[in-house]
Amino acid sequence: MEDSNINQKSTKIGSHVPYIVEPGIPKLEAYEIISEIGRGGMAVVYEAIEKSLNRTVALKVLSRELSRDTELTNRFVHEAQAAARISHPNIVQIYSIGQERGIYYFAMEYVRGKSVEQMLGQEKRIPLLKCIDIVKQTVLALREAYKNNIVHRDIKPGNLMMAENSVLKVADFGLAAEIKGASLGNVPIDGKIIGTPLYMSPEQAQGKEGDFRSDIYSLGVTLYQMLSGKVPFISSDTKILLKSHILDVLPPLPSDVPAEVKRLVYRMTAKKPEDRFENYDQLLKVLEEVYKSLFPKKYVTPLLVAGLALSAGLVIYSISYKYEISNTGSFYSSFDKNKRIERNYMNVVQFAKEHPESYGDIIKEYFRIIKKYPNTEWAYRAEQKIDIIIMSVAKEAAEEIDRIKDECDKLVSESRYKEAISKYQAIKAKYNDTVAESYAEERINYITEKARTDYSKCEEQARELLDKYKFEDARAIYSKVISTFRMEEFNSEAGDKIKIIDQLEKKYKVESEARKIFDKLQYDESSFLAERRFDDVRDLLRKAKDENNNPVLNIFIDKELANIEEIQSEYESESLKEDIDDQYSYFKETYNSILSLIAQYCYKEALVMTNDGITNMEMAGWKSKLQNLLDRLEYLEIVKDRIIEGVNKELDEKNIKSVRADNDNAVFAMGGGYVGVPWKEAKPENVYQSAKKYVGDDAKGHMALGVFCVNYRLFVEARREFAVVLRKDPLLEETVNKYLVILTELEKE
C-alpha cells in the first residue's frame, strides 16, 4: 500500500533492461542488488540476488528517514510478518525479513511480467475474458488473506501483477494498513493512511476502518477501469474525489459490456458495504456464473478442475480460468515467422467469413492461434475476436429469447406445454454450445416439471370426481390433458385412464341397475315371505333373472335364492315349528338391543350380546343376520379402538393429563384444546372427523370408516370411503358391495 506511487522504471517487471542504480544504494551482506525497480515515499524496491540460494528476489528497503521511526519500523516488520504467513499462488510470497546496520528490508518473490496498470497503459481496455480472469485470481488471493485475518486496503491495478505464465500475483499485501507520517501518495485521515483515492471505498474515504468489503469495492473500481479504459471518478482535488466515492453514482459502462458484467461491477461498488457481497465465496460463485454466461458451454469447465485441456487448447487451472501459455521461447522476431503467424490468423478470419453461423468452430480456431502463438499480437487479436463473437451471439440469442419468452409463458399458463417446449427446443438447436442452449434447457426442464405437477393435480381431481361417480367430468379432465398438454409422456397414460373410466362407468351402471332391480324384488318378496309363500318368492326371483341380462343382479338373486332355501328348510322342520315364534321374538329383542348399544358406541357390549344371540339362535336365517351384525361390529370396534389409542398418544405427546379417552369416554380436539364427553353423547359427525385423523390410511382402516358411516347414516362419506377401499385393495370388492346394498336400503328409508 505504501508503494502506491512507486515509479516502475521498466516496462516489464523483472526484465533486465536495468535502471541504473544511483549512488548511495544500500549494501546488504546477504543480497547483491542488481537494479532499482521502483520507489515510493516509504520504500525502494530493487531487483537483487539472494546469495545463499542464488535466486532472484524483489528486495523492498525502508527509507533511511523512516527507519529512524521506531513505531514505523515495528509496523513495517509486523505487517511483513503477517503477509509472510500467507502462502498462495496468487500472492507475492514474502521470503525473509531483516535489518542490517539500521536498514530494514524484506525479500519477496520476483515477478516477471506486467502490472495491470502497465497493461492498461498499453491496451487502454483489457479484453473481457481476461478481465474476468484477473478479478477471479485476485479474489482467490484476497480470500486466502482474509482467512489469515489480513485485509489489503489498497487494491488497484498497480498492485496486481500478471506474470508471464498468466498467473496473477497480488503485491504489497497487508502492508502499511495504518501508517502515520510521511506522505506516500495515500490520503491521511485522522492520522491513518488507508488507501489510494482513485480506488478507495466510501467507508475508507470517511476515515472508517475498512474490512474485506472495502477490498471488493476497490477491485470493482479496478474492473470498471479494465472494462472502460478509465477510472469512474477523477479530480485533482482529493476531497472532491473522495466525496464522489461516497455519494456519486458510477458513470455508465460502455454499451458493449454485457449486462451480467455490468451488474457484477455495480454490486461490487455499492456504496454500502452490506449491499456488496457477503463473502468471497459468494463473489466467486457469481464470477463463475458470469463467466459461463459469456462463454460457449462446451469450453466452460468447473472452477476447481485443474489442468483440463480442451480440444481447442484452453486450459483451466484450479486457481482461475486462463489460457495455458506454453514455453515456446521468445517472440517470433523473424520476418518469415511473423508472416506465417499472420497467414494462419488470416486463414481463420477467412473461415469466419465463409462460415458465419459456425461460431463454435470459429472460436475453436482462434483458440488454436492463442495456444500456438502465445504472447504475440495475433494471439491478442484472437482474444478480441473471441470476445466479439461471444458478445454478438449472446446478444442475438438474448433478443430471440426475449421475443418468445412472453409467448411461451402464455402457452404454459394455458397448459399448452408441448408448444412452449418446441419453441425452446428451436432455441437450443440454433444456439448449440452456448449459454442460450443452457437457458433453453433449463426452461424445458422447468416446463416439463410444471406439466408433471399439473398432471398430478389433474389425477387428484379425477379421483375426487370418480369418488362421486362423476365419470363424464373425470373423463373430460384426461381428454383435456391429451388435447392441450400434447406431451407423449402423458398422452398414453391419460388414454389408458380414459379406458379405465369407461370400464368403471359401465360396471357402475350395471351395478346400479342391479341394485335398483334387487331392491324392488326384496320389497315385493317381503309380503310373500310373511305368508310363507316360498315358491312365489322363487318364481319372482327367477323371472327377474331371466328378464334381465345383468351379471351382478344374477349374483344377488342366487344368494337370495339360497337364503330362501335355508329359511324354508328351517320353517318346515318339525323339530323347530313349535319354537319359531319364540325364536323370532328372541331374535327381534336381541337384534334391537344390539342396535341400541351400537347407537351408543358400546361395541364391546354389543359384541358380547351378538355372540350370545348367535349361540342361542337355532334358526339359520336369523342367525345369519346376527352374524352379519358381528362382521359390522368388528369394523366399528376398529374405529373406536384406534381413536382411543391415537388421541391418548397425542395427549401424552403434549403432556396433557386433564382428559383421557377410554371405552366410556371420548376426547375431541375443540377450540384449540381437548374436550372429554361420554361416548353415548358423541355426535357421529364428530366421531367420524376424529376417526379420519387416527384410524389410518390402510384399506382396512378405510373399510372400517365406511362401515361406520353406513351404520350412522353418513351416506356421502360412506361412498367416498368405500371408493378408497377399492383403489387400495380390489380384493375387498365383495365386502364393499355387501355394505353398499345395506347403504342403498338405508337411503330409501
**If phi over 0 gives left and psi between -120 and 50 gives alpha, with beta otherwise, what is residue 512?**
alpha
Q: DSSP assignment, residue 659?
A: -
The residue with cell 342367525 is 623
Are 453 and 472 spatial neighbours (Cβ–Cβ below 8 Å)? no
Residue 166, H or E segment: none
Q: Left if phi > 0, otherwise alpha if psi is -120 to 50, otherwise beta: which for 485?
A: alpha
Whether 604 contacts 637, CB under 8 Å: yes
DSSP secondary structure code for residue 51 in this structure: T
Exposed/middle/buried for 188, CB within 10 Å: 0-12, 13-18, 19+?
middle
Distance CA 509, CA 460 (A): 23
Copy the grid coordinates of residue 405: 419468452
Name the grid cell of 628: 352379519
Residue 100 CA to residue 77 CA, distance in Å, equals 13
**Which residue type, as a one-letter code, is found at position 217?**
Y
As a whole number of angstroms, the longest Cα–Cα distance in the chain is: 146
Phi-psi region at 153: left, alpha or beta (left = phi > 0; alpha = psi -120 to 50): left
Q: Is 154 a catalytic residue?
A: yes
SS3 306: coil
Q: Which residues contact 292 (CB under 8 A, 6 or more apart)?
A: 300, 435, 438
Q: Where on the phi/psi map is residue 233: left (φ > 0), alpha (ψ -120 to 50), or beta?
A: beta
Position 700: which residue type? K
Q: CB–CB of 436/427 below 8 Å?
A: yes
Task: State the Cα torsion 371-373-376-380 to the nearest 10°.
Answer: -30
The cell numbers describing 450, all together, are: 410444471
Angle of the 435-467 helix axis to the 488-530 helix axis, nearest 10? 10
Element (H, E) at 418: helix 417-430
- Cβ neighbours, 10 Å, residue 656: 14
- The set of cell numbers assigned to 119 is 497493461
DSSP 537-602: HHHHHHHHHHH---HHHHHHHHHHHHHHHHHHHHHH-HHHHTTHHHHHHHHHHHHHHHHHHHHTT-
- The catalytic position among 3, 133, 154, 172 is 154
| Burial degree of 23 (CB within 10 A; 0-12, 13-18, 19+) | exposed
Whether residue 291 contacts residue 132, with contact meaning beta carbons closer than 8 Å, is answered with: yes
Per DSSP, the three-state class of 34 is: strand
- Active-site annotation, residues: 154
